[in-house]
Amino acid sequence: MEAQKIILEPILTEKSYAGIPNKVYTFKVATDANKIEIKKAVEELFEVQVERVNTVNCRGKLKTRNTRSGQVVGKTSDYKKAIVFLKPESKAIAFFESLN
């Protein structure tokens, strides 16, 4: 699998911003990717050294909406989140450094 297809987008929340000074980054990744593939993809895309990767399968939320014809129930899509820890001697990812 290609690195661009594994790492889909960064997740930018208050909790993920708190990890940036410690070289901890959060990404939305492909649901069928494993930790080894995620580690190789991050190292290839950003040219950094990854210490470890934690993954979380996130369930989509139920959404309801009232319309004239009645209540409509839907669901957001499920996704997988990867928390990437870089080695202390590794350089930081430039994209996240510009956010601080």
Delimit the domains of the chain by residue range: 3-88
Which top CATH class is 3-88?
alpha beta
Length of the chain: 100
What's the pTM value of the predicted model, to 2 decimals?
A: 0.87
Q: Is the pLDDT of residue 99 over 80?
A: no
Q: What percent of the chain has pLDDT over 70?
A: 99
Distance (Å, rounded) from C-alpha 22 to C-alpha 48?
14
4-27 confidence digits (pLDDT tens): 999 999 999 999 999 999 999 999
Distance (Å, rounded) from C-alpha 16 to C-alpha 46?
18
